[in-house]
Chain A
Amino acid sequence: MALAQDYPPRRHVHRDLLLALEHGDERSAGWLPATEAVLTPAGHVRAGVVAILVDVTAAALAVRTVRPDWVATADLSLHLLDPPAVAVGAEIEARARITRRGRTTVVCELDLIDPDGALLGVASTTFAVLPARRDQSVGQHDDAPLPRTSLALEGSGLRRPVLDEFGITVTDAAGGRVELPVTDFVRNSLGTLQGGVAATAIDVAASQAIGAACGVPVETVDLQVTYVQAAKAAVSTRAEMLLTAPFGGSARVEVLDGDSGELTAVGRVTAAIPEARP
């Protein structure tokens, strides 16, 4: 395990999403403002972007729990409730707690809350514990509570829609084929593709394929991702329909390493036809 130096860089997904984090005793909270760049046409924060908030908040909590060891996301699941449209600028809050602290894994659960305190959804994550090398220092082990701190720097913020900023391109909607370069903007502290960004690619791939099968646009409401191995260069996806139904459908998505063609993650998505934006 080698931690990237000077992480995250000035221009990075965590900063440009204007994420903020707070750490308490065995609990952490994260916030994500609903900027236009992360909203779906129906006015919801895109499920994949919520997955980034989930991954970042839970990983920060898990790392504080296992120090001096480190963690890597092993799986992530997200269930969104039927949400009203979020006002632009309003914040989504993720409240994370440790559900299990084992020798080799940490399980976190999260509640997603809107500015009025209403439940928007729930999420859970498993992290694999990566043992620290004895010859390697990971800096200060300060686990004191930390008040809300923004990850944004002056000038941070998405300038274009989030999928454009990530460089996600859809090459075949019905087949759920999406390509995503792994740039410094979307790398995690281990130098590989951030798990939430991989989840965003899965969200896009599945919602494109399910939308094509239904003949109308759909939005992801459930997202389940199992990470198989780290993605380093570029990834591509392909989707397979599991179900079409009057409400929408479900699909399985593979995320393949662009160089080796090996499987890096497998996801399962349920997407539904949204209410029209008022």
Chain B
Amino acid sequence: MSMGGEPMDGRAVSRFIRIELREVGDLARGEVVVEGRAPVSDHLRGPGGGLRAGALLTMIDNAGGICGGLASLPNGWVVSTNIAVRTSRLATTGPLRLVSRVLRAGRRAVVTETRVTDEGADGAAVAHGILTSAVLMPEGGPPAWSRPAFLAAGPEPGDDAPPLLEWLGVRPEPTEHGAVVTIELADELRNPWGILHGGITATLADVAGEHSVTTVTGGPAVTVDTVLHYLSPGRVGPVRATARRLGRRRDGHVVRIEIDDLGAGRLMAVATTTVREPA
């Protein structure tokens, strides 16, 4: 895999969600902590009015990924392999504050934990995420960073920013037991490795899962819990998420999702989500 070269390459997704990342850990002690800040922009809101789970997972993948990557230097850089996120608060004001810490930094894998709080609601807890990443050596070595690392949010997308799903070009269709969602793999959806951004994969799981519930209930539905395994990189496209509703529980519907790179003929990711019908 090639990393491009500049840390800012492949950051269109991060700019779209408007996350700013800043390394705040005590470098002298070898501590890696990354703090993120992001507004709750209207273009990232979902059907329940709150931040779309896919946008939240993209933020956590970003902050946790940079944290895990910095902790892996100079042995390599990271590729997400597993993300698990629980949302505890749907109504958010913003800006959101993310704090990512390293739970384990191994030679081959790094695990980070990210807590998301709402600065606009007295620091109320919004979500909790665990991201596991594989440590790989990019061609030409790991990206060069000046430490402490800082990634700016980039320019405001403005009032005319397309809603997230429109930007992705999402095409949802109902099926007998759920829903399928397809997108083209546009260049701006690629991460610095040149593959589909992990947050976008998570967003597809989110949207397909919600549609599989909406198809049955006719009402709004919101993803509140996601466990996702990244299996192989999305390189070609189109990318399709197929959701199957497994059953209903007191706290929501349990949905299983498979995500395929149709062009490569390869299973990219599998996920299980809990989708709630908001009161």
Contact = CB atoms under 8 A, between A and B. Distances in A.
Contact of B82 (A122, A126, A229): A126
Contacts of A272: 249-251
Contacts of A104: 108-109, 134
A222 interface: yes
Interface residues of B, number: 34
A248 B247 contact: no
B108 to A, nearest CB: 5
Given A119-B246, A124-B227, A266-B113, A79 B86 contact: no
A79 B108 contact: no
A247 interface: yes
Contacts of B128: 242, 252, 268
Contact of A242 (B84, B86, B274): B86
A63 to B, nearest CB: 19
Main secondary structure of the interface of B (DSSP, over half): strand
A222 B274 contact: yes
A243 B88 contact: yes
Interface in B116-130: 125, 128, 130
A200 interface: no
B111 A228 contact: yes
A104 B132 CA distance: 13
B81 interface: yes
B250 A247 contact: yes
A224 interface: yes
Nearest to A272: B250
A179 interface: no
Given A74-B109, A242-B128, A122 B256 contact: yes
A18 to B, nearest CB: 27
B245 to A, nearest CB: 11
Interface string B120-164: 000001001010101000000000000000000000000000000
Contact of A128 (B108, B125, B247): B108
A263 interface: yes
A183 interface: no
Given A75-B132, A226-B132, A82 B227 contact: no
Determine the interface band of chain A, counting residues with CB < 8 A from chain B.
Answer: 35 or more
A100 B250 contact: no
Interface in A223-255: 224, 226, 228-229, 242-243, 245, 247-248, 250, 252
A105 interface: yes
A226 B104 CA distance: 10
A270 B86 contact: yes
B251 A224 contact: no
B65 to A, nearest CB: 16
Interface in A98-125: 99-100, 104-105, 107, 109, 119, 121-122, 124
A16 to B, nearest CB: 29
A1 B38 CA distance: 44
A266 to B, nearest CB: 6
A61 interface: no
Contacts of A90: none
A273 interface: yes
Interface in B227-274: 227, 229, 231-232, 246-251, 254, 256, 267, 270, 272, 274
B84 A224 contact: yes
Interface in B55-114: 81-82, 84, 86, 88-89, 103-104, 108-109, 111, 113
27 contacts: A74-B109, A77-B227, A81-B249, A81-B254, A82-B247, A82-B248, A82-B250, A100-B232, A107-B229, A107-B231, A107-B270, A109-B270, A122-B256, A124-B229, A126-B132, A221-B251, A222-B274, A224-B130, A226-B130, A228-B111, A229-B104, A242-B86, A245-B251, A248-B251, A266-B103, A266-B130, A273-B250
Interface of B: 81-82, 84, 86, 88-89, 103-104, 108-109, 111, 113, 125, 128, 130, 132, 134, 225, 227, 229, 231-232, 246-251, 254, 256, 267, 270, 272, 274
Given A99-B229, A229-B104, 12 more contacts: A75-B132, A81-B247, A99-B231, A100-B231, A107-B229, A107-B270, A109-B270, A119-B247, A221-B249, A242-B86, A266-B130, A270-B274
